[in-house]
Amino acid sequence: MPYEYSGNFQQNTRLKYVKATTLTKPTGGGVTQIELPKAGILGGLAVQISATVAGSLSAPNAGGLASIIKRIQLRVNAGQTIFDMSGVGYAYLLSQFIQDNYDQTVGTDLQLAVTTGTKNLDIFLPVALNTRDELGLIMLQNMQTIVTLIIEWEADATVATGATVTATANPVMWVYEVPSNPNDIPPLDTIHQVLETASTIGGAGDSDYQISIGSTLVGVYH
């Protein structure tokens, strides 16, 4: 029989929270990455990040503790980037707009100034458009699909002069069970991308921003 979506995905699935492999920040900064397990349908990714700053600090980064995360990405091997943002971009902008305009990581230290001590830098990566609609879900239970989480950690000296930063990231996947009836699986032919770009403002006056074409926009935040 041809595939015909029944519309019963929500009634015939279960949402699970599955911990993935821990990522440990390299000494001095650098890149860490993991491949997500091949199980279920991915709706979101909560990354619980604990960072410890030590040393005699001077010239702290103006971006605050969010600057420890230089870049965080979620990529699919089909050539699509699902999520690509800096820690600063997430902390001061995106966190207010993701999912249902509710900050999933309220209470973190991301927006605080760089000081010594152990800090909470949790980040939520929205894969689906929101918690209601099924747009953007990614089927992990597929040998051909490889989803990779990449965290680029800022150099310690850029976070603050004299700083030593250690950190671990514990990803927790929001995963839906695959329904036993194939007709209960929603269409998975649409991806939801969250991409950050930066442009330099040369001086006073109007500054035009060229919006990328080729997709349907659901939000542009500045």
- pLDDT of the residue at 45: 95
- pLDDT of the residue at 213: 80
- pLDDT of the residue at 202: 81
Residue partners of 174: CB distance under 8 A and separation at least 6? 15, 16, 17, 42, 43, 44, 45, 46, 127
SS3 88: helix
Asked if 43 contacts 127 with a C-beta cutoff of 8 angstroms, the reply is yes
Cβ neighbourhood burial of 55 (10 Å; 0-12, 13-18, 19+) = middle
- pLDDT of the residue at 196: 92
Indicate if the alpha-carbon torsion angle 65, 105, 71, 166 is positive or negative.
Answer: positive
Asked if 147 contacts 74 with a C-beta cutoff of 8 angstroms, the reply is yes
Token pair, residue 197, equals 């770009």
For the chain, 222 residues long, the average pLDDT of each consecutive 10-residue run is: 81 94 97 95 96 97 97 92 96 84 74 96 93 90 93 98 97 95 92 89 84 84 86
- pLDDT of the residue at 1: 55
- pLDDT of the residue at 103: 63
- Core vs surface per residue 175-192: b (16+ CB within 10 A) or e: bbebbeeeebbbeeeebb
Name residue 131's amino acid.
Answer: T
